[in-house]
Amino acid sequence: MFLPITNVPRDYAWGSTDAIATLLGRTPSGRPEAELWLGAHPASPSIVVNPAVVDGAATLADWIEAEPERALGQGRRHLPFLMKVLAAASPLSIQAHPTPEQARQGFARENREGVPLVASERNYKDPFPKPEIIYALSETFDALCGFRPVDEALADVEAVDAGSGRLAALREHLSESLESTVAWLFDDESADETIAAVGELAAAQVAAGGGVSPSVATVAQLAGLYPGDAGVVISLLLNRVTLKRGEALFLPAGNIHAYLGGLGIELMAPSDNVLRGGLTPKHVDVAELLTVLEFEPLPLPYLRPTEQGAGVERFDPTDVGFALLHVVPGESGAVVPLGGPSIVLVTDGELHLKGQDGNVRVSRGEAVYVTPDEWRLAVTGTGEAFVATSA
């Protein structure tokens, strides 16, 4: 079964005013449009275009609750992913997400404490982890992700300091450990002078012209947006990456990250659990964030695709329950195997999808939910689609 779905973009302040609308062939609203959610998460479940075909269910979440076996297949109780179109015109917060056990415990704890699910200070809005893929749709997509080796961070600290001696305390903490440095920056008033100095020195270097590293340029940008925020200095400790269109990252639990700007397809577990440490006017809980962070420096977490037949790329992290497929059918079409319930979003042209029992035409900007009984799609036409599927 193919069920056309849609949604209203979420209007977070960091969102682009036109990127999502332009991608999907819609008229821009003039307001920030940060994320378009496609899935069944209760915070913004997809809207069913024609409720009559699913006994009046207004949203995908309503239909799944009413007919879980028909919607999800035998043995499933929830959709194992949430697909988003993300458009960042300015940086998002520095954040990380919990492991499955941390999410279960945190959700139960805040329930016991009586913290309302809609409260701004709530950390755990559901009992699920939030590993995620980000796929670059814009020509470039900039991000911070994971701690980099301390010697690399120290090299940029020296470059920013430029012999002034104002960053001696930061160098001293970094020589001890990354974890103690992060805790000091986030939660010790004695770090305030260093935080201010890093922003001032980086901004002065950028203003003076000449060559600065992308990490230092990012520090100057963030200091202008969030002066005095510990996240400005934390950004200097993280890997700075620019994805080209078609490249992807996978961010597991505990990976500290921040998206800086660009348009992308995001695929994640069906969770809205975000632990923030800075660069945001939203709720920040440094103590809780520190409990979930992985401090070991890691290489850039690129997610390489595998070819799954002509015109199909598969981005498939290990043991997360979902995969992202990029589909551009050629003259002979493409065959897309599905792992269970899926969502197809067409971002260009018009495609014809034929499953085992049904078929549908989907044009640019349209999305369909695919029930597991279809299990494989024959895709023809001229265009581009992204498929979120169970794994």
Active site residues: 276
> Which residue's entry shows tokens 């640019």?
364
Please give the Cα distance from 244 to 142 (Å, whole number).
9
Helices marked H in 119-210 = 150-161, 168-176, 178-187, 192-208
Please give the Cα distance from 183 to 196 (Å, whole number).
17
Q: Give the N- to C-terminal CA distance of the chain in Å, as an integer.
A: 19
Please give the Cα distance from 260 to 144 (Å, whole number).
7
**In this structure, what DSSP letter does residue 308 have?**
-
Positive or negative CA dihedral for 333, 338, 342, 347?
Answer: negative
Please give the Cα distance from 323 to 271 (Å, whole number).
16
Please give the Cα distance from 300 to 297 (Å, whole number).
10
105, two tokens: 């415990």
Among 259, 225, 253, which Cα is nearest to 240's?
Answer: 259
CB 51 within 8 A of CB 122: no
152, two tokens: 């690399």
Helices marked H in the chain = 19-24, 60-66, 68-72, 100-112, 150-161, 168-176, 178-187, 192-208, 214-225, 230-234, 286-292
What residues form DSSP beta bridges with 378? 335, 354
Among 26, 34, 47, which Cα is nearest to 367's?
Answer: 47
CA triple 202-206-210, angle to 5 deg: 125
